[in-house]
Amino acid sequence: MSFTRQLSEMSASELNDAIDDTNFPQAHILSRGRNNSVCSTSSTSGTSSLADRVVSAPEEPLPASSEEPAATNSNRPRLILKSSASIPENDGTQPLTPQTPRTSTTPGHENCTFHHDLELDHKPPTREALLPDMARSYRLLLGGLGENPDRQGLIKTPERAAKAMLYFTKGYDQNLEDVLNGAVFDEDHDEMVVVKDIEMFSMCEHHLVPFYGKVSIGYLPCNKILGLSKLARIVEIFSRRLQVQERLTKQIAVAVTQAVQPAGVAVVVEGVHMCMVMRGVQKINSKTVTSTMLGVFRDDPKTREEFLNLVNSK
């Protein structure tokens, strides 16, 4: 079973629950590199999902150290990444990109070539097969507004709107493995990588109106780097769905983790929610900032500060 399939098999809420307590490998299985950066020394490879990387926190106390981060003293239950699980090396027998059409192995979804993460309960085999039903719904909506769906200006609107909605949610049809396209490179580099101000357009799952903004992503590599554009593509996978900003932020962080197993990942999302601008409280200048800090970004204040300084610099 491929790495992506395993990631995909987690529902949004499972993913959310899992990440809430995610921490990176404990000090006893880590070697210290650059400053306080940490890389797993485990050579274990192979496939693993977040779910099967959940292990109990070690019984033995962590080594006392002045550098010991406060986060490791937390009493809350923790998910620990068991090893440096990675996308399987391509030994030449497996294509990097799955065959198309891709199908699901999940019962009831055998013919499905989209919704890899199964966030949606769906029947049609392709996204386009959704169009007629969606267009009918938009037509009803127009009627519900008191409009005449048959007047000239609106005649094609239901189909246009359906196509637009499919576009706004096209992330459901994407998966990490395809998007990465093998652009993960071995590189002896352990300095922070930051790509900031990546434009993001998403759809508020509560009101079905847009929220938009920018995403900044940082990671501290452990001998693997990611093609730079892939960070922006990861943002697309998860923003082009019905979302809440908090989940979007976490999903991006987890995907970067899955892609390159870094020592840490930091994601900051700054969003403007049209549901708060055009309606409701109508606060046109409010911005929502969410962040997910994993691994060394969570544990080491200096690393986190370095990232935030880079993100906030003009």
Ligand X SMILES: Nc1nc2c(ncn2[C@@H]2O[C@H](COP(=O)(O)OP(=O)(O)OP(=O)(O)O)[C@@H](O)[C@H]2O)c(=O)[nH]1
**Interacting residue ranges for ligand X, rule: CB under 6 A:** 204, 206, 244-246, 273, 275-276, 280-281
What's the rounded Cα separation, in Å, for the pair 185 and 224? 5
201: phi then psi, degrees, rounded to nearest 5: -125, 125
Question: Would you say 297 and 303 are in contact if contact means Cβ atoms under 8 Å apart?
Answer: yes
Question: Would you say 166 and 130 are in contact if contact means Cβ atoms under 8 Å apart?
Answer: yes
Q: Which residue is nearest to Zn ion (CB)?
A: 275
**Does 222 engage in binding with Zn ion (CB under 5 A)?**
no
Residue 53 binding result from ligand X, Zn ion, none, given CB thresholds of 5 to 8 Å by partner type: none
Residue 9 binding result from ligand X, Zn ion, none, given CB thresholds of 5 to 8 Å by partner type: none
As measured in angstroms, the least distance from the Cβ of 108 to ligand X is 30
What's the rounded Cα separation, in Å, for the pair 85 and 93? 20
Tell me which of 193, 275, 277, 308 binds Zn ion, using CB under 5 A. 275
As measured in angstroms, the least distance from the Cβ of 273 to Zn ion is 6
**Does 204 engage in binding with Zn ion (CB under 5 A)?**
yes
**Does 246 engage in binding with Zn ion (CB under 5 A)?**
no
The question of whether 275 is a catalytic residue gets the answer yes
The question of whether 207 is a catalytic residue gets the answer yes
As measured in angstroms, the least distance from the Cβ of 103 to ligand X is 32
The question of whether 26 is a catalytic residue gets the answer no
In order of 84, 90, 220, the CA distances from 30 in angstroms are: 10, 26, 14
Closer to ligand X by Cβ: residue 204 or 294: 204
HSE-CB of 297 using CA atoms within 13 angstroms:
28
With a CB cutoff of 8 Å and minimum separation 6, the contacts of 259 are 87, 176, 180, 184, 226, 230, 234
Residue 301 binding result from Zn ion, ligand X, none, given CB thresholds of 5 to 8 Å by partner type: none
Closer to Zn ion by Cβ: residue 164 or 278: 278
Q: What is the residue whose two structure tokens read 């070539």?
A: 113
Residue 49 binding result from Zn ion, ligand X, none, given CB thresholds of 5 to 8 Å by partner type: none
Q: Which residue is nearest to ligand X (CB)?
A: 280
Our CA angle for 256, 233, 21, nearest 5°, is: 30
Calculate helix-pair angle for 245-260, 12-20, nearest 10 degrees: 80
As measured in angstroms, the least distance from the Cβ of 251 to Zn ion is 18
Chain residues that interact with Zn ion, rule: CB under 5 A: 204, 206-207, 275
Q: Which residues are catalytic?
A: 204-207, 245, 273, 275
